[in-house]
Structure 1
Amino acid sequence: MKLDLGSPPETGDFYEAFINALIIAGAGNGTVKLYSTAVKDFLNFIKKDPRKVTADDLNKWITSLLNREGKINGDETERRRAKNVTIRYYIIAVRRFLKWLNVNVKPPIPKVRRKEVRALNEDEIEKILSSCSRVKDKLLIRLLLDTGLRASELLSITIKDIDVNNNMIRVRNTKNGEERVVFFTNETKHLLKKYIRNKNPDDKLFKMSYDALYRKIKRIGKKVGIDLRPHILRHTFATISLKKGMNLITLQKLLGHKDIKTTQTYTHLILEDMKNEYLKVMGNKE
């Protein structure tokens, strides 16, 4: 996280000062929430002046994180991975806090196995869209497929954020705190016009919680025998975009990735297409 947090105070509440520095420096809501939780957990564990933290303190805290019972749904492998991801982010947050305090202690940061990225094929997309009888349901799916928005970003959109004439949406509440613009197709435009008719500019496009959205998308997929989740639709957008020739920089901006390396994870999904293209050009001689 490349934010200029300035210098820490000489005395006072270092936790509050750190969180305020994050907010002033422009950290996104998600970052502030994560860092708040992680640093508070760490301080509650060590129960001492953070300027006097030792490597032993950090290692004991990390061990305590590893030994805690998780409350994450899913199969055992996914639960373990999700827990490791959370611990990794906690450690990164605390390391940033200590660096800000000029404490020269660097905890080890565990690696996390990359999650398998699943994307829909064209037949699956058609099945899902065909199963949507309500305009709202079809619009939900189409917007996520057209834009690659995160579920939380989609749920933050208001009617006034949508420029129907120019097929674009201004996304203000993003993961990294940086406003961006995404676009949608003419098919989605027709659905949008129908759906937002008579709505007020300040109304949310979809008045629902994340859990409600997640359950709805799961139900839509279940009707056609597909394990569907919001992020699969984001993966599908990224994969289709690359297959159709979109460059990585443009895709990075549309997805709202800070680091292009995150965007590059999608390139392995089109390896089979690349292989087939290679064989078509070069031949498949023994």
Structure 2
Amino acid sequence: MQKEIDMFSTYLATERQLSKHTHDNYVRDLIKLQQYGVSEQLNQVQDIQVIHLRLLIGKLRQQGLATKSIQRWLSSIKMFFRFCKKQRWVTTNPTEGIQAPKADKKLPKTMDADQVSQLLNIDGSDFLSCRDKAMLEITYSSGLRLSELAGLNLHDLDLKAATLRVIGKGNKTRQLPIGSYALRALQDWLGQRKTQLKDQDEQAVFISQRGIRISVRNIQERFKKIGASQVGQHLHPHMLRHSFASHLLESSGDLRAVQELLGHENISTTQIYTHLDFQHLAKVYDQAHPRANKKS
């Protein structure tokens, strides 16, 4: 099938005008198919059937090829056979109906309670210290997304009731509790906030030193810097949200409540934290059970 691959390669370079890197990836993927065809005496493109592709996917998995790489490979093969059918080299497309293996969900990175405590132990009463501590506390206390934290407005806060309101994904509003530590940090910050305002009508809860709403990028950079100095690791805002969810689920076991607090539409999204919880239990088991680590 060298002729067909060469013509497809020309099509990618001239008509699709793909970058060299992307073009070379497609060609490498097709070489895998070609090599498999030679090994199975499938020398013509029309010899390749659905069963052969399924067997090859299984072989690639056995060889340790990552799921994402297999997904990309199958995407290349599908495009190739669509091209082949358009050229009338094949009458049927053997890739139709073949689904790529689903990628394993990566468990979110979390911090344990001691790490969070160390992270939030920020001294100082200056503008940046008060603001950064309040942002960290409120993110962990209420499990906010980065966009929700940046978009928080004064009218979203009810300090007397210790609650806040956010508009999350899908433009859905949810009301969340504010923990006592976060409430105290927020009150300290609001006192500092007044000193830096340029426009008294500014509604953003968290502002930059320029007196305007702090940007998402600025928050990311501040969290990264604080994470490095406080706990010696890269910190992104979602890590605190993940820690919030994991710690709540670990303590309460109430998956539905955690789903509501996180603003997840489907409980399957929240269920990933049950895996984190199991990892914690498995670790305790390994450390505590007298026969857990017995060597065979």
User: TM-score, normalization: structure 1?
Assistant: 0.57
The DSSP-based 3-state class of the residue aligned with 2:243 is helix
2-side partners of 1:238 and 1:223: how far apart? 24
2:268 to 261, 267, 274: 261
1:231-246, aligned counterparts within 5 Å?
231-246=238-253
Corresponding position of 1:181: 175
> 1:148 and 2:130 equivalent?
no
What's 2:160 paired with?
165
- Matched to 1:229, the amino acid is H
Residues 99-120 of structure 1: CA distance to partner in whole angstroms, max 9, x if unpaired?
Answer: xxxxxx9996773342231110
CA distance in 2 between partners of 1:260 and 1:187 (Å): 29
Percent of residue pairs bearing the same amino acid type: 27
Instruction: Output the CA distance in 1 between the equivalents of 2:175 and 2:221.
Output: 27
> What's the offset of the Cα at 1:129?
1.4
Contact persistence 1:159–1:196 (CA under 8 A): no
The partner residue of 2:119 within 113, 128, 132 is: 128
For the Cα contact (< 8 Å) 1:218–1:227, is it kept in 2? Answer: yes
* CA–CA separation in structure 2 for the residues paired with 1:209 and 1:177: 20
Q: Which residue of 2 aligns with 1:218?
A: 224
Choose the corresponding residue for 1:190, options 181, 184, 187: 184
Amino acid at match of 2:111: L
Q: Give how far 1:282 is off.
A: 9.6
Counterparts of 1:161 and 1:202, CA distance in 2: 13
TM-superposition CA deviations, 1:151-200 (whole Å, max 9, x none): 0011111011001111111112x122211111111111112122224586
Long gaps (5+) in structure 1: 1-59, 69-79, 89-104
Cα–Cα, structure 1 residues 215 and 282, in superposed 2: closer, same or farther, change >3 Å? Answer: closer
Shift of 1:137: 1.0
Secondary structure in 2 aligned to 1:244? helix
Task: Return the alpha-carbon distance in structure 2 between the equivalents of residues 128 and 216 of structure 1.
Answer: 13
Instruction: Give the Cα–Cα distance (whole angstroms) in 1 for the partners of residues 205 and 98 of structure 2.
Output: 43
Matching residue's letter, 2:205: L
The structure, 1 or 2, with the larger RCO (C-alpha pairs under 8 Å, 6+ apart) is 1
Report the Cα distance in structure 2 between the residues aligned to 1:150 and 1:106, rounded to whole angstroms: 37
Contact 1:158–1:201 (8 Å) recurs in 2: no
Partner Cα separation in structure 2 for residue 142 and residue 244 of structure 1? 19
Q: How does 1:17-56 map to 2 (within 5 A)?
A: none
1:138 equivalent to 2:123? Answer: no
**Structure 2 CA distance for aligned equivalents of residues 107 and 166 of structure 1:** 54
Residue matched to 1:203 = 203
How far residue 276 of structure 1 moved from its aligned partner, in angstroms, is 6.9
Separation in structure 2 between the aligned mates of residue 169 and residue 268 of structure 1, nearest angstrom: 29
CA deviation string 1:121-171 (max 9, x = no partner): 122112211245311111111111111110001111101100111111111
**Equivalent residue number for residue 270 of structure 1:** 277
| Counterpart Cα distance in 1 of 2:235 and 2:140 | 12
Q: 1:202 to 1:223 in 2, by over 3 A?
A: same
| TM-score between both structures, scaled by the size of structure 2 | 0.56
Taking a change above 3 Å as real, the CA distance of residues 132 and 215 of structure 1, as seen in their structure-2 partners, is farther
> Aligned Cα RMSD in Å?
3.8
Residues 245-280 of structure 1 deviation map (CA, whole Å, 9 limit, x = unaligned): 151111111101011000000111111443477799
Q: Give the number of the structure whose alpha-carbon radius of gyration is greater.
A: 2
Separation in 1 of the partners of 2:151 and 2:158? 15
Is the contact between residue 176 and residue 258 of structure 1 (CA under 8 Å) also seen in structure 2? no
Give the Cα–Cα distance (whole angstroms) in 1 for the partners of residues 101 and 171 of structure 2. 26
